[in-house]
Amino acid sequence: MNRTEQLGWIGQSVWLDNITRDLLDSGRLERYISKLSVTGLTSNPSIYDKAIGGSADYDEAIKRLAASGASTESIFFELALDDLRRAADLFLPVHRRTNGVDGFVSLEVSPLLANDAATTASEAVRLYGLAGRPNFFIKIPGTTAGLKAIEETIFAGVPVNVTLLFSTDQYLAAAEAYTRAIERRVEAGLDPYVASVASVFVSRWDGPLAGDLPPDLHLKLGIAVSHKTYGAYRALLQSDRWQRLLNAGARPQRLLWASTGTKDKKASDVLYVEALAAPLTVNTMPEETLLAFADHGSVAPSIVPGPEITEGTLVAGVNSQNEELLAQFKSVGVDIDDLGRRLQEQGVEAFATAWKSLLTRIEETAAAPVAR
């Protein structure tokens, strides 16, 4: 059993946080599925901005679609849907084997809609219909407006990847939106299982604090917040509210660790993967992190959720050692709640910037003369 298989054995799904046409055409994704136990895939505007800007693989299709009169945004979604349908088909055996729990790919709605709940929800339904695959997640950011869209999209039966979550409170707000939607489906006599993941971003916590912390706290905040969030997640699943939904045939929204590549080149390149091994979770990894972990990662369940607790005290499920670590950050002046809010705002802005860059690339490619 190799290292990535061992993550699956303890109950964590390994996903790839990347998509390019070359990844598909070269057969690399198929090899990752068969050799490294990859069971899903995520994409975002930044990934596609790099994919389209970094190769000529999309040029012919862009020119053809532009010549047909398609809008720039429509061209992008056509390109992305073509890639992601191919990837989704590769993951269909996993999706079937796990009864619809695993084997998903993800496509994000336009980040420019982050503050427009109604349009986000309708766009999510439209894109899921265009995808034409059961194992498609539509990504919606967990902003205030996004939470409203998430509830309505889940209630409509569309699988959702809730993105850009950072703090435990942000995760719980996303989980509440999902739970309300499932409760509404149960009350309406609809299928109570609509797949979802809540994507908690990890490494971005540590970037703003680099160089400003005592050495013994370096690169520990993202992990500590994630451990606290895992405690809240496990507590929610133990609550009477979710036990009732499980009895009605629902399945929980899974917790997904995102942004798990190590940005500090002096640190272990598998730091966040090793620190977040836990059952009933997903870890979506950049390609280089996946390969690094497969080569030299160490596998052991690393999160202690803490004692069993009752409904109403959900965040108390984290272990006391982790609570002490978070207290140390507060003692040196880190306002964790404020930083979490700022990270989410910055994430929305970064994806919007990548989206605009992506559309500009498509326009420039469409207008460029054909190479002779």
Catalytic annotation present for 139: yes
Of the residues 35, 50, 63, 139, only one is catalytic, namely: 139
DSSP-assigned states of every residue in 243-301: HHHHHTT--PPEEEEE--S---TTS-TTHHHHHT--TTEEEEE-HHHHHHHHHH-----
What is the CB-side half-sphere exposure of residue 357 using CA atoms within 13 A?
17
Q: How far apart are CA 343 and CA 186, in angstroms?
A: 35
Beta bridge partners of 42: 17
Q: What is the dihedral of CA 22, 26, 30, 34, to 10 degrees?
A: -130
Q: Name which of 176, 319, 157, 187 is nearest 242 in CA terms.
A: 176
**What kind and span of H or E run contains 137?**
strand 136-141
What amino acid positions are annotated as catalytic residues? 139
